[in-house]
Amino acid sequence: MRDKKTEGYFLLGQRVKASCTTISSFFVFCLLAQFDRRLGHWQQEESNHNSSQKNINGGQHSKKMKFQFLLIASIAVAIARGETAPSSLRKRELVWGQSDAGNFYTLIAATDYSAMQGVEVQQSSEGITNVGFIDTGDWVSYPVNLPTNGPYQFHSRISSPSGEGSFEVVNFDTQQVYATFSGFPATGDFQAFTTVDQTFDLPAGAFSLQVRATQSGFNMLWFSLKAVAPAPVEAPIEVPVEAPVEAPVEAPVEVPVEPPVEPPVEPPVEPPVEPPVEPPVEFPETVVTPAPTASPTVKQTPSPTSTPTMKKTAAPTSAPTVKQTAAPTSSPTAKQTPSPTSSPTVKQTPAPSAAPLPPYFSLMAASGYAEMEGLALETSSEGLPNLANYDAGDWSTYDISLPYAGTYQMMFRVSSPFGEGGFDITNWDTQEIYSNVDVMPNTGDWQFYQTVSVLVNLPEGGMRMQLKCYNPGFNLLWFVIKSP
């Protein structure tokens, strides 16, 4: 069994708690009856023994049994009051648009706009519709209601065959530009999607968020907003300052001074008397002339070589913009007029048809659950958090409100490395099973996703929908409820 990150506690925990209360109350009643019987036995035993030693032993035995009874009774009362070890199920107080550790989070389909100009709706390769045929100046807008001022992370699922296209995120009411997206990765096709993101500041409150194209060449599938949790402010780390180490001062070493030694005084010596000396004979002086020294040789310095000339390369020309061309419309078909007949024509009155049902579309991130048990959040390859670590019995719930009772199409973005997995679509309150998903595509990896679809009959109004796993082996990224 893998380690679980569990959240949720409500009806199941209450039922277990009620059962524990009933059982523990019965247990306390049995203990009281047993104690009453044992107490009568102790009293009879003490009256039949007159020996002081036996009375002492009986009293000690009585006190020991009374202590055991009180200990067991206290445990039973604690169980009855629900004072047991904390359950692995805990409830998370959740309102719409909150997920990911309590931070605001919402997922919006690009085609779920409140207003638009110039764009068209297409069926995408990922199961839901996308906004396409976007030209410069085209735009779509969406109503949002943000709880706080501050930084938000904006993800957009886009496609761009040649890496062209750009758009601005704008406040539709004030025309303030919050961010600009450009330099898209080349996806190779208008139906091969990737996710780009930026983080920028947005104001609190209700306003219309506009996505406005500044260059054509891309499609958009969905976008999401997620509040960025403020980074914890770390206290400055004080580096201890070491006191300077003073070098020890050595005391000067005194060199002993020896007293001067006076030389002994010798008696004067009288010089001997020498005979007269004749003057020396002078010889002519010979001057030696030095040989001349050679002058130093001057070394020739080579002339500097010329610097190579850089050849100027012409700048590459930009590739032409690939614009998505709408398919030509077919020419109108001429209506055939029947030849008049002589007999009178009886006009048939058509039966009144039922009023068409209002269209409905809702895209929900799997991580936007109200409550769950046994699952973990991961960052998916498509930019959104996905639900993972499914085991049999794990579940997540979502609050929805449907405009009519009838048939809806539900689409699920799933991954399954081996084509395994299955889950029920149920009503959490009544536990009615509406349908199930038991055929998973073999995606080959936990982060390669495909979309599966089922038709489900659902009731009108608000309900808490539960997705309950009965066969593990898959991840869930998002799901859609829409008119068929």
Residue 97: the pLDDT is 42
Q: Mean pLDDT for the chain?
A: 74
Phi-psi region of 333 (alpha: psi -120 to 50; beta: other; left: phi over 0): beta
d(CA 313, CA 371): 62
pLDDT computed for residue 45 by the predictor: 56
- Check whether 169 has a pLDDT greater than 90: yes
Q: How far apart are alpha carbons 76 and 29 in whole angstroms?
A: 10
Are the folds of 98-227 and 361-482 the same?
Answer: yes
* Confidence grade of residue 194 (pLDDT, cut at 50, 70, 90): very high
pLDDT for res 438? 94
Pick the CATH number of 98-227 from 2.160.10.10, 2.60.120.260, 3.40.50.800, 1.10.10.10: 2.60.120.260
Least confident of 66-70, 253-257, 412-416, 426-430: 66-70
Which of 31-40, 43-52, 185-194, 235-244 has the least mean pLDDT? 43-52
pLDDT at position 96 is 33
Please compute the mean of the pLDDT values over residues 39-64 and round it to a whole number.
Answer: 53
Q: What percent of the chain has pLDDT over 70?
A: 53
DSSP 49-99: ---HHHHHHHHHHHHHHHHHHHHHHHHHHHHHTT-SSPPS-------TTEE
Name the most confidently modeled range: 23-37, 47-61, 351-365.
351-365
- Reported as a pLDDT band with limits 50, 70 and 90, residue 260 is low
For residue 182, pLDDT over 50 is answered with yes
pLDDT mean over 400-411: 95
Q: Which carries the bigger pLDDT value, residue 412 or residue 44?
A: 412
- Cα(160)–Cα(39) distance, integer angstroms: 87
Choice among 7-11, 38-42, 254-258, 439-443 with the minimum mean pLDDT: 7-11
> In a 3-state reduction of DSSP, which class is residue 139?
strand
- Helix/strand/coil for 195: strand
What does the pLDDT read at residue 359?
Answer: 87
CA dihedral 99, 100, 106, 110 (to 10 degrees): -140
pLDDT over 90 percentage in the chain: 46
> Under DSSP, is residue 354 helix (H, G, I), strand (E, B) or coil?
coil
d(CA 324, CA 159): 12
Q: What is the CATH number of domain 361-482?
A: 2.60.120.260
pTM summary value: 0.58
What are the tens digits of pLDDT across the range 324-358? 655 455 444 444 444 455 555 555 656 556 667 77
DSSP state of 200: E
CA–CA dist 210, 139 (Å, integer): 7
Q: Which amino acid is at 38?
A: R
The residues spanned by each domain of the chain are 11-80, 98-227, 361-482
| Cβ atoms of 140 and 116 closer than 8 Å | yes
Query: Which amino acid is located at 164 in the chain?
Result: E
Least confident of 66-70, 286-290, 348-352: 286-290
pLDDT class of 293 with cuts at 50, 70, 90: very low
Q: What pLDDT, on a 0 to 100 scale, did the predictor assign at position 9? A: 33
Residue 477 has a pLDDT of: 97
Average pLDDT over residues 400-413: 96
| pLDDT for position 35 | 56
Distances (CA, A) of 436 to 342, 402, 443, 473: 60, 19, 19, 15
